[in-house]
Structure 1
Amino acid sequence: MKQHKNRKKVLAWLMMLVGMILILLPIGGRIYTQYEQQKLYAQYQQSLLEREAALETMNETLGSGINIEDTANDTQVIGLVTIPKINVSLLFAEGVTKQALKYAVGHMPGTSMPGEVGNCAIAGHRSYTFGEYFNRLDEVEVGDDIQITMGETTYTYKVYESFLVDPSEVWVTEPVEDRKIVTLITCHPVVKANQRLIVRGEWVPGT
C-alpha cells in the first residue's frame, strides 16, 4: 500500500514537472528568439555604423584629392580591378583611407567582399596627374565588364546601371539580398567633386 502511494506521488511529481516544462518551453523560446533578434539587430546597427564611418572617410578622401606626401605603408593590396572598356587594371586595396586611395582603389569596410552575396563597394579617385584610377569611369556603359581578381580567382560583373548621387547618400552601399553586385564609386565632376558617380555591375554566374 505504501509503495502504491509512493508511485502515485512520483507520478504526480513527474506530471507536474512535465506540465511546468510545457509551460516554460514557449516562454524560453520567446526569450531565446528575442535574444537572437536583439543580437542580429545589434549586428545590423554595427554594420550600419561601420558603413557610415567608411562613407565619411571615403567622402573626405575623395573630396580632398591626392596628397603626394601620403605613404602606402599601411595599404593592404588584396587584388586587381580590371575594366577592359577603359583599359585599366588597378590595384585593389582594403580600406578607403587617403593612403589606400592614393595608390589603389579601395574596398569599403562593412560591405561584401568580391564573390560574396551582397554589395561590394569600391571607391577610387579620378585624377589625371598621379594615375588613371577611375578617371574614365563615366565612359563605362551597361553591358561592359568589371573584373576583380583575388589570388587565382577572377570574378566578372556585368554593368547594369550608372547614375549620380550626393555624397551623403549612404544607400548605395547598403547590402542586397540574394544577389552579388559590385558598386564602383568616384567623384563627379573631376574638379568640383560635389557628386558621386556610381557604376553598378552584377556577378556573371560561372565566372
Structure 2
Amino acid sequence: MKRLLSYGLIIIGLLIIVYPRASAWLDDRQQEKLMAQWEESADDEEALQEAIDQYDRLSALFAEAESDEDNASATPDAVETEEPTDTPEPSKEPPKLNAIATIRIPSIKVNLPVLEGATQKNMKYAAAHLTETAPIGEVGNAAIAAHRMRAKGKLFNRLNEVKKGDKIVVETKGETYTYVVTGTSIVVPTDVSVLNYNKTDRRLTLITCDPVVDPTHRLIVHAEMA
C-alpha cells in the first residue's frame, strides 16, 4: 500500500513538472496553427481582391473593343484617306503570345487559345484567363473572359447560345479538363459574386459582354468539372 502511494506521489510530481511544459507546447502549436490560418486567409483575400480588380477592368476592355468595331465599320466618307506612296509600309506582325491552354465549346463551334491575363493585347486575339482566379483544372473558380465581337462566331460572339449540360473542354499542356455547363446568367458589371467559389468544387466561369452592341451587362456561363 505504501509502495503504491509512493508511486502515486512520484507520478503526481512528474505531472506537476511536465504539465507547464506540455501546456506551453500545446499553446505554441495552437499559435502556429492560427498564424498559418491567418496567412492563408490573407493570401486568399489578396488573390480575391486582385481577381476582382481584373474583373472590374473588363468593363474598359469590352468598351474599347466596342469602340474599335465602331471605327472599323465607319463609312468611307467619315474616314480620312492618305495619298498613296511609292514605298508601301511593311505589314505589322502580330505580337508573339504564348497560349497557356485552348478552350473548345463544341455546341457553338468555339475553339480558341487562352492567354494568361485579361489585357487589351491578349483579348484582341484570344480568350484570357483572369490571373489570381483558380488555375484551370484545380479546385476553385477559374475565370476566362473574351470579347463578344459582332462577327458571327468570332471569339465569344455565340456564348449566349450555350445551354445547361453543354460541355466545355479546356486543354492545357499535358492535361485535358471537361466541364459541364450548370447555367447562365446576365449580371451588372459590378456583380463580383460570379467569382465566388468553395474549396471543394472545380468551377469554370466564362465572361463576356451583353448585349453584343452597346453592352451594359455581362453574360456569364457557369460550369463545373465533369
TM-score (norm 1): 0.82
1:81 alignment counterpart:
103
| In the alignment, structure 1 residue 133 sits paired with structure 2 residue 151 | no
2:186 alignment counterpart:
164
Q: 1:130 deviation in Å? A: 10
Q: 1:141 deviation in Å? A: 0.7
Correspondence for 2:165 among 126, 136, 143: 143
The one-letter amino acid paired with 1:27 is D
Gaps of 5+ in 1: 1-12
**Deviation beyond 4 Å, 4+ runs, structure 1:** 13-17
Structure 1 counterpart SS, 2:165: coil
Give 1:61-140 correspondences, 5 Å limit.
61-65=61-65, 73=95, 75-129=97-151, 132-140=154-162
Q: CA RMSD of the aligned region, Å?
A: 2.7
1:24 alignment counterpart:
24
Distance 2:158 2:151 in 1: 13
Aligned length: 193
Contact 2:204–2:222, Cα closer than 8 Å, also in 1: yes
Contact 1:111–1:175, Cα closer than 8 Å, also in 2: no
The one-letter amino acid paired with 2:55 is L
Percentage identity across paired residues of the two chains = 33
Do the aligned partners of residues 153 and 38 (structure 1) sit closer, same or farther apart at CA in structure 2, a change above 3 Å counting? closer
Give 1:31-50 correspondences, 5 Å limit.
31-50=31-50
Gaps of 5+ in 2: 1-12, 73-92
The one-letter amino acid paired with 2:19 is G
Structure index of larger Rg: 2
Structure 1 counterpart SS, 2:104: strand
The one-letter amino acid paired with 1:88 is V
Q: 1:97 deviation in Å? A: 0.6
Distance 2:198 2:112 in 1: 25
TM-score (norm 2): 0.76
